[in-house]
């Protein structure tokens, strides 16, 4: 899985590409976890090019969410593909996370 | 006239690398057969989750499992035959899905996805082997999962 990060305002925006599965989940959580070491971190992960998410990938996302909640920060996903969105719906992640249709909308919401 | 079916057969070790390589092959096979994106994704995901469970909870990473994927006109079916300890994926407890992030346990979602994404899920213990079969409905509509 490829991961690219940038800062837009006070939000860390991560673009992920590829499969978030058992082979990628640990590196995903470690790499992004290192980006949110500050207090009250704001993290947006763009899932536009994430085409496959397993339970191990969901576990990595949950680890990040818990870390951000503990630091009183905020977390969102955007641009989630249809099949991945179904996985998030089934597992209750869609109700637990903020999921935006598009990156611009997510950044605007997180900047408020 | 008999409906045309195509089949992929392979063996795989239930390790991260083995499962990842198999996922590549299954995704490529289903795309080549013209299976729609949604059932392609879900069939590969269900196969991956069953094998991940075999490796992590069944502790069976050193004996290859036999897998097969069959494309039928109205569904994709998968079969996994392994030498892990007896395990019926239909009986795994359902995770608590309505908890806030702070309270949600880490894990427990893989077999739940298997049950919810499959329109049929069967299990038999045959001698010293587990035989798990599943089906994913083709098309774009959601499957009705096999249980809660």
| Residue B108 banded pLDDT, cuts 50, 70, 90 | confident
Q: Please give the pLDDT value at position A11.
A: 94
* Mean pLDDT of the residues in chain B: 91
CA angle at B64 for the pair B58 and B65, rounded to the nearest 5°: 70
Instruction: Please check the confidence at residue B24 and state whether its pLDDT lies above 60.
Output: yes
B17: how many CB neighbours lie within 10 A of its CB? 11
B6: how many CB neighbours lie within 10 A of its CB? 14
Q: Which residues of B, range 11-30, sit inside 8 Å of A by Cβ? A: 16-17, 19-20, 23, 27
Domain assignments of chain A as residue spans, ordered by start: 2-111
| CA–CA gap between residue A97 and residue A88 (Å, rounded) | 9
Mapped onto helix, strand or coil, the DSSP state of residue A7 is: strand
B117: how many CB neighbours lie within 10 A of its CB? 27
Interface with A, mutate which of B13, B113, B141, B143 (most A CBs under 10 A): B113
The complex scores an ipTM of: 0.91
Query: Is A2-111 a CATH 3.40.630.10 domain?
Result: no
> What's the rounded mean pLDDT across residues A60-71?
94
Using a CB-CB cut-off of 8 Å, the residues of chain B touching A90 are 112-113, 116-117, 145
Q: Please give the pLDDT value at position B144.
A: 53
Instruction: Please check the confidence at residue B103 and state whether its pLDDT lies above 90.
Output: no
Using a CB-CB cut-off of 8 Å, the residues of chain A touching B102 are 66, 69
pLDDT tens, position by position, A9-27: 999 999 999 999 998 999 9
Q: Flag whether residue A55 sits within 8 Å of chain B, measured between CB atoms.
A: yes
Question: Whole-model pTM?
Answer: 0.92
Instruction: Please check the confidence at residue B69 and state whether its pLDDT lies above 70.
Output: yes
| CA–CA gap between residue A77 and residue A7 (Å, rounded) | 15
**DSSP secondary structure string for all residues of B132-143:** EEEEEE-SSSPP
Q: Flag whether residue A14 sits within 8 Å of chain B, measured between CB atoms.
A: no
Q: Are B102 and A19 a contacting pair at CB < 8 A?
A: no
Positive/negative CA dihedral, B33, B35, B37, B42: negative
Q: Please give the pLDDT value at position B111.
A: 95
User: Nearest C-alpha of chain A: how many angstroms from B99?
Assistant: 8
Mapped onto helix, strand or coil, the DSSP state of residue A58 is: helix
Helices (H) and strands (E) in chain B, counts: 3, 5
pLDDT tens, position by position, A38-48: 889 999 999 99
The DSSP code for A21 is: S
A78 and A105 in contact (C-beta within 8 Å)? yes
| Residue A112 banded pLDDT, cuts 50, 70, 90 | confident
Q: The domain at B6-137 falls in which architecture? A: 2-Layer Sandwich (3.30)
């Amino acid at each position: 899985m490829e991961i690219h990060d940038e800062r837009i305002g006070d939000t860390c925006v991560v673009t992920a590409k590829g499969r978030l599965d058992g082979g990628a989940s640990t590196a995903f959580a470690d790499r992004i976890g290192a980006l949110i070491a500050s207090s009250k971190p704001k993290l947006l992960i763009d899932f536009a090019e994430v085409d496959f998410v397993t339970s191990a990938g969901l576990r990595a996302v949950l680890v990040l969410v818990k870390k951000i909640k503990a630091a009183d920060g905020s977390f969102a996903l955007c641009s989630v593909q249809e099949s991945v969105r179904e996985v998030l719906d089934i597992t209750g992640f869609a109700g637990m996370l903020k999921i935006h249709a598009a990156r611009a909308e997510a950044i605007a919401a997180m900047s408020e | 006239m008999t409906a045309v079916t195509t089949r992929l057969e392979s063996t795989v070790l239930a390790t991260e690398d083995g499962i990842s390589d198999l996922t590549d092959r299954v995704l490529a096979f289903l795309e080549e057969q013209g299976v729609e994106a949604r059932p392609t994704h879900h069939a590969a995901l269900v196969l991956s989750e069953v094998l991940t469970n075999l490796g992590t909870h069944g502790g069976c990473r050193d004996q290859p499992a036999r897998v097969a994927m069959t494309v039928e006109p109205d569904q994709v079916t998968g079969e996994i035959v392994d030498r892990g300890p007896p395990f019926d994926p239909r009986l795994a407890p359902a995770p608590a899905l309505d908890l806030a992030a702070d309270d949600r346990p880490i894990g427990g979602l893989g077999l739940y996805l298997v049950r919810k994404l499959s329109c049929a899920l069967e299990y038999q213990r045959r001698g010293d082997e587990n035989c798990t079969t599943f089906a994913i409905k083709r098309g774009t509509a959601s499957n009705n999962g096999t249980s809660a």
